[in-house]
Amino acid sequence: AGLVGADLTGADLREANLRGADLANAWLGGADLTGTLWSRDTRWPDAEWAWRIRDSSDEVSTGLFRVRPDSGRDHEASLSPV
The domain tally of the chain equals: 1
- Specify if 79 maps to a domain: no
What is the residue type of 74?
D
Residue 35's domain spans which residues? 17-73
Beta strands in the chain (DSSP E): 17-18, 37-39, 57-61, 64-67
For residue 81, what pLDDT is reported? 38
Instruction: Sort 64 into a burial class: Cβ within 10 Å, 0-12 / 13-18 / 19+.
Output: middle
Q: How far apart are CA 61 and CA 63, in angstroms?
A: 6
User: Has residue 54 been placed in a domain?
Assistant: yes
Question: What does the pLDDT read at residue 40?
Answer: 95
61 within a domain of the structure (yes/no):
yes
From first to last of its 82 residues, what are the pLDDT tens digits of the chain?
567 777 688 888 899 999 999 988 888 888 899 999 999 999 999 999 999 999 999 999 999 999 998 765 555 443 433 3
Specify the DSSP class assigned to residue 78. Answer: G
- Residue 2 has a pLDDT of 64
Instruction: Please indicate, yes or no, if residue 42 is contained in any of the structural domains.
Output: yes
pTM value is 0.79
